[in-house]
Each structure stands twice: as structure tokens, then as C-alpha cells.
Structure 1
């Protein structure tokens, strides 16, 4: 496929006249052999020229020079192979003319079987009229075919649609409207060539690139904050802040090269023209004079050239505070009056002034009373709302002791001073104390007297008096007790003498750590009062002998005949040296069964000296304190079998064994049966029998049924025991289980005996047993060595009841209780 020839023309720019705003040299450009209208050939550097005062003319009518030095074609121009030359003339306001000769050389180049166009260029925001020719799109195939051209892609058939078009017959590329480089810096679309007759493509498609050349149509803009802070009195050259700006024109060109300048505030601040950093130009910035400064900043592109586009903005520079102003008082001195004995509270406000920033450590005040408050009668604080000094009275003043106080108050800040030679200042505060008619005052708030316990009544222990603060006299003052918890002290109301009224006991609960307090009051003629405290230090006497508080002791029996021991502890209410260490010794009437072994200052071990059976033992012990004061005391030692340190009888006293309960139930059943039989025998067989008084019986007829006495005893005691679990029988001295065991045995014996007797009676004739059942006697039991005789006497001792006589003291106690009940 053949291609069209393309001519590249080199253009050389020769400056014939020297001018300071031009840079001599040459410009070489490549153009097509046919140069379309509006084609940019090159650009003359006139950035440093005042283009507003210069007039440009071209010697060749096909070319013109725009105001910014751009050389463009105004007609379709053919460039011959040997080049083309023309000149440009510049005329200044004074009428002087300067010429530039333009030399153009044309170079013929051919690229076989390839599209001819190189990347095309258009100027952004070009001025009308439109459309404007850009360049020819030519294919070598046009030499062999009758062709037409089409375009497609962005800027043609895609967004932005219709920016470019092509003349189908000639391949002339046209731009139809102005283009913004900042929106679309480059267009790449596709050109195709077709045979007009067959509509077949005669060459391969070719991408067409159109670059949009930048013009300086965007002024730089500010970015970021324009508010900065710098401390007052900062040194020269201290950085304040940095101004930031941007330009959306083509980067790397003068169109985006920004320079910074200050249009105001130049006496105080300086801005770096290249970086935009603002710095201080003086060290005299004073926040208290002016806390904010407003400076106008200009940003200009084209590296600051006059023809560059610019913007301005106001930057706010805030001065930060330093503590260069100490607080000052509004007055040179203060006076305040305070009454004596006045209660605590605020007595004076001291205003101050401070020029530094409010509610900061540079402004917040602190106050110190540097003189006159040695007794601590005052304190000073800061009012957080007003920053004033507040003086408070913390202890009442006494007119009779101090009529005037001169204070000195210093004011300062929380922060230290900086950037100034000033110092903290102080002012005097004169405090006048007013007189008040006061009550009497004791010679001292408290007085101490030492008294030995058990001191006899009416003994003088001391005198406690008061005086009138104004007259310094005790005349007319009366004295009374306010508090005397144990009523041990008598106070003479006229003299203030203190005497013993009742026996003082150091061991009393009214005495704490050996001290007893009495509160007194003094009353003058005007009934004003004053109070004081009498402290009585009570000295100890040896008035308490050592005592053994636990005299009932338990000694657990040991196996294998080992001797046991028990701890004996003594106490003494007296204090040293009238108490421990104690001395222990067996009493004079001891039985050599025990021995005393020392353990510590207050205790001994009471040890067996021989093997002893279980039981109760009384042991006399003599106990003396350190001074030999003591007596003989008796302790009781119970020797028993133990479990977990307690006697077994004690553990079982409140519970019944299984066999005891069964025996009790069996006995009750037998008693019920015997009761029914006895009622039948003793009553139904003697319906007609009468009981008569024999005369010598003392008016008492006694009727017996031989079966009843022992059964009655058992029944009554059994029922009484079950209904009186908290009776003496339930204590450790008589365990309930033992009681029930004895009762069960007695009931079984007498039940067996009674059943045998009833069986015997049932075999006899009526006259036989009826004579034996009920007898009437005129006199019972007195002087009869044989006792009662009945039908049962001949039974003999069929059941051995001798065990009832050997039941021991426990059963005797039961019998006594039952008899009493």
C-alpha cells in the first residue's frame, strides 16, 4: 500500500537585535508539507517581556505571532523542500523596531506503507471561530485508491462527543470547539481509510493522538488553614506557619511555578517567596498590646512574573501568651476588723489584676501570707471565679493577748514569670481585734492530779480555779461539776477545791487506761461561763488477790495407768507490780494425790501423783501475787472417760440409746397390763369391804396392794423423767441413759414378780386370796421389826432384788427426786 509523502520543515529563529527580554537562539519545528490554519509552529520566549507594550508583526502573511509569542499559521501554507524564511518585527512604545528572521528548511521523509501523521497539538481554550483545521490525516493508500476517511473514539464518537471531525474526502482533521486541558489533556482516537467504491479498508487503522497544549488560564489557589499561632516576644526568625497553594495548570511549567509575597504586615513578618513559610521579623510582638495580626498574602504563578495569574488571602496570626505580667493589687494596703472569739469564716477579699490570658496558669493567682500568721489564725485561698484572694479566720483571736496583727500577703501566678524583669509583689493587711466581754477562763484548759485508788473520802486532791480575762481576778466566780460519771469528786463552789467524795476504784470501767476525767465550769457574776477538764491519774493499789475464774476442771482418764494433768489459770485485776507473776502451792489439807507444776507467770499444771478412779476430787490451792497477797481457793477436778476432750456422760446426757428406748416401751406395756389385772383383783373381789378407822391410826386408813408400791415408783419416775428432760436427772450428774437403763431393769423385775403372784392367786379359792388382797390395820408399821406381812411373803426371794440396794448415789438421787415429786 502506497502512502502520501510528508514534508518535515525545520524552522530556525534568528534574533537580529539584542533586547534584554529576549533570549537569542534558534527554534526548530517539524511541520507537514501542507501546514493547516491554526497550526502551532513554535513559541518565542517572551515571558520576561512586557507584552502589553510590545506590538508584533510578521513579514509573511501566512503566519502570525500571538501575544504570548506563539507562532501559528493563519492560512493553509505549503512549505517547499528547501524551506521558507520570514521575519517577525517587534515595536516598543517609543517606536523602536526590532526584527527577527525566521528560516524554514523542508526535509522530505517517507514511511512506506504507514500512516503519515505524527501526534497533533491544539491549544486549550482556543478562541473562535470554529471549526479549525488541525492537520491532514493521510494514508499512502490514497495514491492507489479513491479513498475516504473516518474517525471514532473519545472526542469523536465517545465522550466528549464531537470535539473532532475529519473531512472525508481530504482527511483534514478539524477541532470543533474549545478544549480545557485541565479536564482533558490528551485525546487518543482511531482513524480508518476506505475505498469509496468498495467500502473496503485500504490501510490498517491508526491511533491518532492529539495533545492539548497548556495556556496559563488558571490562577493558583490557597489550600489548608490560614490561621497560625506564635508566642509573643518570640525571637526574630521564629517560624509562624506555612502557606500552601496549588495551580491546576500543567505541572513543571511556569504556569504552575508559584511565588509567595506579603502585601501587608511586612514590618512584623516575612514570607519565603518559594516555600511560603511565614516567620517573625521582630522580637517585640506583645499579646497584651495586640493579640491578633492580619496579613495579606499573594500567590502568583509564572514564577511571580507580572503577567502571571494571582490570588490573595488574609492570614490570621494569633499571639500566644507568656507570663510576662505579674498580678498587681488594686490597692496599696488593706484593713480589716475581727472580734475576739469570732467564729471561723471569710473576713477579707483582695482583688488583683493580671494582663495575661484569662483562666490560664499565667493568669491564675496564688496567695501566700508571708508574715504575721505565725500562730496559724488565718489562711488564704484563691476564688476560682474572680481570681481574688480570700482571707479566712481559722482560729479565734484573743483581744487580751493580741489587739492587732499585721499580715503581709504575696500574690503570684501558677506559672513562673517569663520575658520580663518584673517581680512578685506583696501588700500589708492590718487586722484589728475587737474586745468582747468574755466568760471566766480556767488557769489552764486541763489540769492533772494523781490520786491513789481507795483514798479516803474528803481527801483534798487539788484546786482548779478560773479568772476573768478582763479583770484578771477570780473574785465572784463559782465552780461546778459538769461531768463526774462515777460521782467520785466533790467541788467546792467558792474555792474550786476538789475532794474525794466516794471511793475511787482503778479497776472500775469508768477508768480508761488509768485515767478518770471530770469536767468543770466556772460562772461569773454576769452568768458567763468557762469550762475546763480535770484529769485524774488513778494510781493502783494491791486491793485484789489473784483469782482462779474456772474452778470446775475436767481431767480425761488415760489408758495404761498414765498420770493425767489439768491446766489451772489465775487472774488479777490489779496492774504490775501488784499482779503476775503468781505463786501456786497446794493447800494445807491436801491428800497427796496431786502436785503443782509451774507453767508460766499466770498458770500451773495440776498433776496426779497416783492413779485415781473416775469421780470428783476437791483440791485446795494457794495463789499469791508478786507482793505475796493471796488466799487459798478450792478447785474441783472431775476424772472421767473422755471423747474429744469432754466426759462421755456429758455427751450422752441428752440422748437415749436404742435398748433404753425399747426397755422403756416394754415396761410401759407391762405396766398397762398389770394395771388392768390389779384393778380387777383389788376392786371386783372386795365390793362390800369397808375401811374403818381403828382409832389408833391417827385418823389415817392405809390400804395396800402389794403389787403397787414398786410399780408406782417406777411408773411415776419414768413418766416424770420423760416429761422433764431439763430436770436435774438430765444433767451430767445423772445421765438420762443411765436412768432409763435402771428404770427398765426395775420394771422388768417387778413385772415378772407380779405376774407370778397373780398366777398363784388365780389357783386359790375365793377365801384364800381375798384375805390376802386387802387388809385393814389400826396401826401400820410402828414397832414391828418384821414390817408388812402378806400373801406374797411366802413366795421367797424368787427374783433377786438386792441390786436395788447397791445402785449407788445416782439412783439414790433418782429416788430422792421421785420421792420429792
Structure 2
């Protein structure tokens, strides 16, 4: 019978590895120390054979403590063929053989050569052989065994995922989860308590607590107020070895911020706000600003300012909320008049835009204050009694005629004296004059509607005080038409009559113009100059539409008889009094073309009046042209 025997060499090792190798014939032997080996040697061979057939190779671990810098024997391997004669040579191979572990080839003692780190390598797998020194043949088949590096508490627990930042709502209930911190320990979690961690609070009590095993941080204080303290630094410690003495520890800081909830209502900084505004301030002027303080932030601090409901529509001011500063901007909504009312007192209120009745009653989300607005007196310019004036005057009115009066008053309490004047730029011809004391305007020059039918005169009213404040008003003066212009023919007519014209034919249509502008429009009447004898050649036919026609009274007009006729024409208007004018027209006799056109009426008439025929005149012109060409 033969077997490997593994012995433990030091009391500090927790277990003894006994590796049994196959004997010649493949029989297993399991011994536990020398006593077991002797017992096996005394056992009957049939019993050993029975055991060898049932069992396989058995090996156990050897242990070596980590971080031990001293070389030391950690165990011994020995074959039952080894009788102390050094005939057996022990050989070690595998992981770390030769540099980490060595075996005494004579005694089989295994020695650790250097300091080991379990966290770097937890175990080594090696093989052992027993060689016959004489034959150099194996006495035992090669056997594999493991050397386990035994853990010691040499690692500090480390927090993961730092830094820790968390936020919770203010006023949250006790037990609200804040965050979870997690630490790890590189030591062996399966060996003792080296990697057994426990958490505790170093800083942060009584507001926070931590669950010892999970690292979950929860609130332990009710009514934490963000407005009192917005941020907490919670220091959590972790210890290994379940917190027992001799272990390692580390700590981490959790930054806990309180987020805002609407647990504060707006409060005015003052119970009374006094403002002053001049009476001439335009609508939209900022009268002042009011401010309510809200301890909350963000959307919970938004607020709206307003006047009391019964003042909203009638008040001289409105209040808008400045979205940036959250102030109430008091704006002038109506014109002011110090002389009518010099001060106003009103109530304003502010209300949170977002109300949360979980924290405050409904009335606590609003506040009220009083506004006192003093109107300041301003020396104002005179005010005309009318925004403008409009008068009418006939164009033939006499110089000095009074057209009317303008009036202005000083609205200030002192009621200063006022003087009136006409702006020269609005009356460049100086057609009007004004009484500086009472504002009476009269005609200073004759007016002509046909020259200017409207006058827009600017009148200035100025106080006699040192400031000389003034204002102005426009007086619109319409000049009315009178019939002071005679009618006249519309143009310089040059009528002609063709030879062969029949009696009763119209040879010229006449119209008239008049510079006047009667209300009912123009009505012109055409006639001939009254005479004892009736004109035997022409007559005037009035069409009753402000036109008239010259009509031939006979049919025997020829150039040979007479080339021109003079015809006086009278044009009268319908004004009062009636005005008229007489124009004498020259009617030329013409040898007209078939269409009635008289192309050479003037030349032909001239030649005939000189006793020369048209053919003779044309011959003379041809000769003159020829002589001129030869001279060249």
C-alpha cells in the first residue's frame, strides 16, 4: 500500500491538505496524519483493496495567509514509499512553482517564498510528483492540488459613484428617501467579516438617518424649511467587520438640497405707499413701484398685483406685475387735473399665481396695502375754450369788420392774465388783426375769394407771468363768394364760314367762364348787341346750357363779295347784380374743302383783300424760290 500524505506545518493554517496519489495498480489511499497511515498499513489487504476500488484521488486545499512577508513552510507532501532514506525526490510544478512556492525535494515541505495578495490572486493550482532517485521513474502518479491565499482585512471599503447629490421637497414627511450610498470592500466576502459592511451617520443628525445594511438615507425630521436652510451636508461612514474594532472605515458626503414648495404667501414691505405725480404727466407714466416679499422661489414666488375690484375700472392708475423683479408697477391710466382733485387713496392687493392649500390657508396667499397718490400742481399753459374755430366772411366785407372772438383761460389757481396774438407765419398777408386783450379778430385788408378762399390763422394765447406759457388754436376763415367778376368767352374764338353755307347752319359753338363761384353754379346767357337793325348775316342761338351757337342767316356768302364779318357777342351771368361782357368775333369767309375744312382761310382772305388772286400769289412765290436757287 502507498499514498501521498499532506501535512500542515504551522498552527496558523486553518486546514490540512492530504493528497493521495494512485499506487501501482491504481489504488487510492486516504490517510489523515501518521496515525492514519499506520492504521492503513495494519489493515487487511482485502479491506484496502475494497477501499481502493471505491475511491478516487482525494485532495484538499493548503492555506497561506496573504500579506505575510516572511518565507515560511505552509505544508508537507510525502509518499508512503518515503522511509526517510532520501530515495524519493519531490518535484513541484504549476502556478507559482519556483518563484512563489518551492518544495524541499527531500522532505516534501512546501514553502511560500514571498508576500501574497489575495485580491491580486486568490489561489494557485500546482502539481506534485515523487520520483525514484535511482530509476528516475515516478513512484507516484502526478497529483494536482490548490493552495488558497487566506484573506486578511487589508482593504478599506470604498464608496462608489461619488459625489452624491440629492434633492427633496421641503416639508416632506419623516421617512422620505433621500439617496442610497454604496460602498464595496475588496476583501473576501466569504471569509469572516472582513467585507461585511455597516453604514452610520457622522454628520446630519437629527435631520437624516441611514439604514445600517443598505446605505439608504431617509429623513428623520419633519418640517425642514428651505427658507431657513436650503442645503445640508450629510456625512455617512461605512465600516467593515460589521463595525467591530480593528476594522477599516471611510466616509462620503451627500449634498442634500431642499426644493421649494409654496409654503409662503406674499407680504407687502409697507402698509402704506406714498407717491407723487405731476398733473401734466401723460397716460402710461410710471407713478411708482410696490413690492411684496415671498420667501419661495421660482414659480411659487410669482404673484399678481391689482387694485380692489371696485376700483379696477374707475381708478386713475392700474398695476402691472414686472415679470423680472416681481414688483407691482403703478401706471397712470387717466389724465390728471390738480385743480379738480389733488390726492387719491386706494387699496391694492397681491396674490400668488400658484396656490397650494396643503401648506397654507387660501387667505395666506394674498396680502393688501394702501396707495396714497399726491397730484402735484403744474403751471399749465392757457386752455382755449374751443379746440378750433371756423368762421365765414363775404369777400367784399369792409376793412375793420369783426369776424369773432377766441377765448382761453388759465386753469391754474392763480388765473394769470392772457394776451392774444396772430402767428405771422399763418397770415403772411396780414389780412386779419386781433385785439390782444379780448381775442377779437377783425378784417385788416380787403379779401378776394378768387385769390384765397380759405385762411387758416393760428392764434396764440400767452400768460403774462415770468414763464410766459402759451398755447395756440387754429381759426379757419372761409371767404364767401360775391359776384364781382364778369363772364367772358372761354377762349379766343376764330370762326369761319364756308362758301355755300346754308342759312340756319351753326358755324361756331361758344362757351363762357367766370372766376366767381356761385352756390347754385354758373348760368350764362348769350346774345347779340342790341341794335335798331337786325343783323342780316348772323344771329346768336342760346342753348340754355351755358353754350351758344353762331347761326348763318343767309346762304350767299362768297369771298368775292366779302372776306370777313364782325360779330359782337354779349355774355351775361346770373349773379346779383348781373354782370356781362361783350366780345367782338371776326368771322372769315373760306373756300372750304368738301369736308368743310378751311385750310388756307387766312392766306386766301389776305390775298383777296389786296386784289390779287391766289393763283397769281402762288406764281410770285415760285419765282422767288427759283431766283433764290440761282443766286446760290
Residues 379-778 of structure 1: pairs in structure 2 closer than 5 A: 391=330, 397-411=336-350, 416=355, 419-421=359-361, 422-444=364-386, 446-447=387-388, 449=390, 464-470=406-412, 476-481=418-423, 484=426, 490=432, 492-493=434-435, 494-496=437-439, 519-526=458-465, 528-534=468-474
Identify the residue that residue 41 of structure 1 maps to in structure 2: 15
Identify the residue that residue 34 of structure 2 maps to in structure 1: 78
Identify the residue that residue 186 of structure 1 maps to in structure 2: 123
2:180 is the alignment partner of 1:238: no
Three-state SS of the structure 1 residue aligned to 2:388 is: strand
Q: 1:521 to 1:238 in 2, by over 3 A?
A: farther
2:280 is the alignment partner of 1:341: yes
2:77 is the alignment partner of 1:136: yes
Q: 1:177-205, CA deviations, whole angstroms, 9 ceiling, x for partnerless residues?
A: 44221122122456566564677888887
Match of 2:185 among 240, 243, 247: 247
Distance 1:457 1:198 in 2: 166
Identify the residue that residue 540 of structure 2 maps to in structure 1: none
Match of 2:295 among 339, 343, 355: 355
Q: 1:248 to 1:491 in 2, by over 3 A?
A: farther
Deviation at 1:457, TM superposition (A): 9.7
Contact 2:237-2:251 at 8 Å conserved across structures: yes
Distance 2:477 2:245 in 1: 106
Distance 2:49 2:229 in 1: 72
Identify the residue that residue 297 of structure 1 maps to in structure 2: 236
Three-state SS of the structure 2 residue aligned to 1:182 is: coil
Q: 1:312-333, CA deviations, whole angstroms, 9 ceiling, x for partnerless residues?
A: 4454433223332234333321
Residues 786-797 of structure 1: pairs in structure 2 closer than 5 A: none
Q: 1:494-536, CA deviations, whole angstroms, 9 ceiling, x for partnerless residues?
A: 544667986679999xx9xxxx976542113326333244485
Three-state SS of the structure 1 residue aligned to 2:340 is: coil
Deviation at 1:403, TM superposition (A): 0.7
Distance 2:463 2:168 in 1: 73
Three-state SS of the structure 1 residue aligned to 2:464 is: coil
Q: 1:422-459, CA deviations, whole angstroms, 9 ceiling, x for partnerless residues?
A: 23212112122233443311225x33648799998989
Identify the residue that residue 157 of structure 2 maps to in structure 1: 220
TM-score by length of 1: 0.45
Identify the residue that residue 262 of structure 2 maps to in structure 1: 323
Identify the residue that residue 167 of structure 1 maps to in structure 2: 104
Cα RMSD for the two superposed structures: 5.7
Distance 1:274 1:505 in 2: 112
Q: 1:217 to 1:375 in 2, by over 3 A?
A: same
Q: 1:142 to 1:441 in 2, by over 3 A?
A: farther
Identify the residue that residue 570 of structure 1 maps to in structure 2: none
Distance 1:230 1:412 in 2: 26
Distance 2:129 2:144 in 1: 9
Three-state SS of the structure 2 residue aligned to 1:80 is: helix
Q: 1:205 to 1:5 in 2, by over 3 A?
A: closer
Identify the residue that residue 61 of structure 2 maps to in structure 1: 120
Deviation at 1:232, TM superposition (A): 0.8
Three-state SS of the structure 2 residue aligned to 1:400 is: coil
Contact 2:301-2:352 at 8 Å conserved across structures: yes
Identify the residue that residue 12 of structure 1 maps to in structure 2: none
Q: 1:425 to 1:377 in 2, by over 3 A?
A: closer
Deviation at 1:239, TM superposition (A): 2.2
Q: Which range moved further: 236-245 or 490-499?
A: 490-499
- Consecutive unaligned residues of structure 2, counting only runs of 5 or more, are 17-31, 41-47, 482-516, 522-544, 551-618
Three-state SS of the structure 2 residue aligned to 1:317 is: strand
Identify the residue that residue 210 of structure 2 maps to in structure 1: 271
Residues 62-73 of structure 1: pairs in structure 2 closer than 5 A: none
TM-score by length of 2: 0.56
Identify the residue that residue 176 of structure 1 maps to in structure 2: 113
Q: Hey, which of these two has a bigger chunk of helix by percent?
A: 1
Structure possessing the higher relative contact order (Cα contacts under 8 Å, 6 or more residues apart): 2
Distance 1:361 1:428 in 2: 26
- Consecutive unaligned residues of structure 1, counting only runs of 5 or more, are 7-31, 43-75, 85-105, 542-573, 579-583, 590-801, 807-811
Distance 1:309 1:118 in 2: 35
Three-state SS of the structure 2 residue aligned to 1:40 is: coil
Q: 1:224-270, CA deviations, whole angstroms, 9 ceiling, x for partnerless residues?
A: 22443212111343321111211212356654443434466554334
Q: 1:111-167, CA deviations, whole angstroms, 9 ceiling, x for partnerless residues?
A: 99x9x673633243365764122342769999999453444565345xxxx331111
Q: 1:417 to 1:451 in 2, by over 3 A?
A: farther
Q: 1:529 to 1:314 in 2, by over 3 A?
A: closer
Distance 2:105 2:71 in 1: 18
Three-state SS of the structure 1 residue aligned to 2:15 is: strand
Distance 1:505 1:134 in 2: 142
Deviation at 1:472, TM superposition (A): 9.5
Contact 1:443-1:465 at 8 Å conserved across structures: yes
Match of 2:220 among 281, 296, 302: 281
Q: 1:344-396, CA deviations, whole angstroms, 9 ceiling, x for partnerless residues?
A: 97665656544345xx45557765455589565576665967x7666566877
Distance 1:107 1:240 in 2: 69
Distance 1:489 1:236 in 2: 95
Distance 2:397 2:388 in 1: 22
Deviation at 1:287, TM superposition (A): 1.9
Q: Hey, which of these two has a bigger chunk of strand by percent?
A: 2
